[in-house]
């Protein structure tokens, strides 16, 4: 049954509302024309568009070989984002575990946190991680500000999941994609882009070079998740059902507010973001909302059907019947992945809290 939205009243619900409202502001910055121009200036457009054209033509040829009325799996704009993803992961951005020593380039050891300097704060750093060189004859300190300003990230080109998702999402917007920045309460963030070809939102994780693999985190990494909220310049949507297909296995208690309150909060953010849109744009987005809600409900039905079909007539467990490859996490060091409980079946503590060196 559809939930009736209810405004937040208790302190916990009000805190969660304030948190989501704050998070919802981030993707609105991707609409800054000057920032988008800066982003386009760093992208090798000839390479990206050339790779996209090659893949698009291949997909069209494959579809034509099947039949005259068969559409390619992905459209040209999808191929642009896929080419951008490949370039971003393999060439442009660097994942940081512990930054190297700035003096001798030796490995460093974490020393705790420090407040940001005024300059670091101005560039969106809310916190700074401190590291000391491991070489006995050096012992230099290195600051690692966790920058949130996208223009700064275009210059530094390094970070962890937060920096990767923030910068990549903005670059997707720069090449014409409709973009969501996706937040998970268990300390991970990623991107969704809208596919006009498939009329749905597509999961994209730049850290993993992952495309349309939303079960990656729960079934590949062994991650348990409570809330997954997608934010864009057009609103906010609770997309947890897309990423947590089996809540009994991979879910975490959703206790930050009643479910009816969460619906009210996401509706509030949608109204706030869409209030200046024209009538036709608002109508189009409402139709998309309905289509997405049908998709998300479908995942619940699929999970129930899979559970019912898991026991065959002989009473023995049957195979899942899903041949999609769900890889373990590849970004970050093995020790860091294990500390966060994101190393898949190799993780010694699957439910461990995220490490302090967060996304």
Active-site residues, by number, are 161, 188, 205
Which residues pair with residue 235 across a beta bridge? 232
**94: Cβ contacts below 8 Å, ≥ 6 apart:** 157, 158
- What is the longest distance spanned by two Cα atoms in the chain? 70
Q: What are phi and psi of 251, to 5 degrees?
A: -90, 160
Q: Determine contact, residues 21/49, Cβ cutoff 8 Å.
A: no
Q: How far apart are CA 262 and CA 109, in angstroms?
A: 40
Question: What are 131's two structure tokens?
Answer: 């590291």
The residue assigned the tokens 């790779």 is 51
Helix (H, G, I), strand (E, B) or coil at 236: strand
Which residues pair with residue 109 across a beta bridge? 132
In what helix (H) or strand (E) does residue 39 lie, and over which residues does it extend? helix 33-42
The residue assigned the tokens 């939930």 is 3
Long-range contacts of 335-344 (CB under 8 A, 24+ apart): 336/97, 337/221, 340/187, 341/222, 341/223, 341/224, 342/188, 342/217, 342/221, 342/222, 342/223, 343/221, 343/222, 344/220, 344/221, 344/222
Question: What are 179's two structure tokens?
Answer: 């973009």
């Amino acid at each position: 049954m559809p939930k009736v939205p209810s405004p937040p009243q208790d302190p916990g619900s009000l805190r969660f509302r304030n948190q989501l409202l704050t998070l919802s502001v981030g993707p609105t910055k991707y609409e800054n024309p000057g920032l988008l121009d800066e982003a386009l200036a760093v992208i090798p457009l000839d390479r990206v568009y050339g790779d996209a054209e090659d893949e698009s033509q291949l997909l069209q040829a494959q579809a034509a070989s099947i039949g005259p009325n068969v559409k390619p799996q992905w459209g040209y704009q999808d191929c642009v984002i896929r080419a951008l993803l490949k370039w971003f992961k393999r060439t442009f951005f660097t994942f940081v575990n512990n930054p190297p020593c700035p003096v001798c380039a030796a490995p460093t050891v974490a020393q705790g946190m420090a407040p940001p300097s005024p300059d670091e704060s101005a560039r969106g750093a809310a916190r700074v991680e401190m590291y000391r060189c491991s070489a006995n004859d050096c012992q230099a300190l290195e600051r690692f500000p966790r920058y949130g300003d996208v223009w700064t990230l275009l210059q530094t080109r390094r970070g962890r999941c937060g920096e990767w998702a923030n910068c990549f999402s903005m670059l997707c917007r720069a090449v014409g994609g409709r973009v969501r920045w996706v937040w998970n309460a268990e300390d991970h963030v990623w991107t969704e882009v809208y596919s006009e070809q498939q009329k749905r939102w597509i999961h994209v994780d730049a850290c993993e070079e992952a495309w349309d693999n939303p079960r990656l985190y729960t079934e590949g990494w062994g991650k348990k998740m409570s809330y997954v909220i997608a934010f864009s310049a057009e609103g906010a949507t609770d997309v947890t059902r897309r990423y947590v297909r089996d809540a009994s296995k991979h879910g975490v208690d959703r206790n930050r507010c009643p479910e009816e309150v969460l619906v009210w909060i996401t509706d509030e953010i949608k109204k706030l973001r869409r209030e200046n849109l024209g009538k036709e744009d608002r109508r189009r987005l409402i139709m998309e909302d309905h289509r997405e809600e049908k998709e998300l409900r479908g995942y619940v039905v699929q999970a129930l059907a899979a559970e019912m079909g898991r026991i065959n007539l002989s009473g023995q467990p049957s195979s899942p019947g899903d041949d999609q490859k769900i890889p373990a996490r590849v970004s970050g060091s093995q020790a860091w992945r294990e500390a966060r409980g994101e190393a898949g079946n190799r993780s010694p503590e699957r439910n461990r809290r995220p490490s302090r060196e967060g996304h």
